Amino acid sequence: MKKIIKRVTGVFLCVAMAVGIFGTTSAYAEGTDASTDNTQEQAAQWPTGPEVQAGSAIIMDAATGTVLYEKDADTPRYPASITKIMTTLLALENCNLDEIVHFSATAVYENEGGTSHIARDLDEEMTLEQCLYAIMLESANECSYAVAEHVGGGDYQKFIDMMNAKAAELGCTNTHFNNCNGLPDPNHVVSARDMALISREAIKNSMFRKIVGTVRYEIPPTNKHADPTPLNNHHQMISAYKGRQNLYDYCIGGKTGWTSDAGNTLVTFAEKDGMTLICVVMGCTAGGQYADTRTLFDYCFDNFKMYNVAQNETRYEKTQSSDNTLFTEWNAFAKVDDSAQIILPASANFLDTQTEVSYDQTSDSILGTLVYSYDGKQVGTANVVTTGAEVTEYPFGEKSGTVQSEDNSMQNDASATAESRNTTKNDTGKKSGISISKNKLLLIGGGVAAAVMIILVIWFLHNNIRRFHRRKERRDRRYKTIKNNRKWNKRGGR
Taking Cα atoms as reference points, which of 175, 177, 180 lies closest to residue 132? Answer: 180
Strand-pair partners of 306 = 343
Distance of CA 274 to the CA centre of its chain: 17
DSSP 8-state class, residue 285? P
Taking Cα atoms as reference points, which of 283, 286, 210, 198 lies closest to residue 246? Answer: 286
For residues 46 and 373, is the Cβ–Cβ distance under 8 A?
no
- Sign (positive or negative) of CA dihedral 332, 336, 338, 339: positive
* H/E run at residue 415: helix 414-428
Which ranges of 304-383 would DSSP assign to H, the alpha helix?
A: 309-312, 330-333
For residues 178 and 188, is the Cβ–Cβ distance under 8 A?
yes
For residues 178 and 185, is the Cβ–Cβ distance under 8 A?
yes
- Sign (positive or negative) of CA dihedral 161, 166, 171, 176: negative
Strand-pair partners of 61 = 277
The radius of gyration computed from the CA coordinates of the chain, to the nearest angstrom, equals 38
Q: How far apart are CA 246 and CA 270, in angstroms?
A: 14
Strand-pair partners of 217 = 231
Pick the catalytic residue: 84, 255, 399, 440?
Answer: 84
Q: How far apart are CA 417 and CA 392, in angstroms?
A: 12
Q: Active-site residue 84, yes or no?
A: yes
What's the count of helices (H) and strands (E) in the chain, helices before strands?
14, 17
Taking Cα atoms as reference points, which of 106, 103, 134, 135 lies closest to residue 120? Answer: 103
Q: How far apart are CA 145 and CA 413, in angstroms?
A: 51
Residue 26, CA distances (Å) to 56, 418, 432, 440 in order: 50, 18, 11, 10
Pick the catalytic residue: 81, 144, 199, 239?
Answer: 81
Pick the catalytic residue: 139, 239, 435, 437?
Answer: 139
Give me the amino acid identity at 14.
Answer: C
Q: CA neighbours within 13 Å on the CB side: how many for 135?
A: 32
Write the DSSP assignment of 44-100 as a string of letters.
Answer: --PPPPPP--SSEEEEEETTT--EEEEESTTS-B--GGGGHHHHHHHHHHHS-TTPE
Q: Which positions are catalytic?
A: 81, 84, 139
